[in-house]
Structure 1
């Protein structure tokens, strides 16, 4: 029987799992809706994209550090249950549609397009699905840099098209299907973790 080996995985695996999960999870998320709102308001894609990148790196680095600390503070058995439960909770959360507050991302124009985007995205990402996913992934995988790079790339893959294509993306892609796929991935990861099954765990 394979035993749970927390934080024992390749950098490539950590990077690609983090990228895929966050890219799927971000589809239809409130921060993607915020990207659409900012693009419609300012019509300046480059500073918006740079702002999303900076805000995501800062937010996910912080979340990753929390996940790394959690992993070091717990023993392997407790960590397995915490990570497995977190993945299952994320699977359920992925099925709940997000809404953006009417005042989210508004105001603060005195900081310019870039500054407004950084502030709005950093605040909107606090406690968001993708931030919590980053904490869980950083607790699961050894390489914090690979996790943060992967989750950041996942955010950019979901949000850059939203900035350029706007509402066309939302109309053509089934958010329910995307969220269902993301939920299934989290559920599989959670079950594999709890049961000590599979190469990933």
Structure 2
């Protein structure tokens, strides 16, 4: 038995399987965005991917499992884009501006992702254990903002306020973008981001007395 050849074959299979899974997830996103969550059957996703439904079932044990990967893909892609940009900022105020700007820039560049996510939120009924998965992703985003606010309050850039309340408020404002993309595709998202930056810079400014 040639152990090295077996190892190489396993690596090749793993690489091919990973590539196939990525393709299925991307096709699922496109199908959900174009047809809606209810109409995005495994058959429709397979048709878009040019494969059989059996191939999808081989990689994902259920549609629910596939949808979970779609949600994770959208969140992790956004985080991978935003994180290095936010970390490159040297002040809390700049971090806040970059956070808002980069988040909306990602949404603008990935409108299909946003439409798919909006369809999922509108159509899915989470089963036991799935709410905690989504909640953990949302909590991670809120936690990132809380850290920015705590840093800014510690060094005197931001006034005293509840970091969690402010973080949730900003997330709600940003998460209002996907519905706008769907209903108002001509919306100027650059202007939208600038307005949010101004709004929350004023809301957190150390020199503003409320």
Same fold per TM (> 0.5)?
Answer: no
Larger radius of gyration: 2
Q: TM-score range by the shorter chain?
A: 0.3 to 0.5
**Which structure would you say has the larger RCO, counting Cα contacts within 8 Å and 6 or more residues apart?**
1
TM-score w.r.t. the length of structure 1 is 0.33
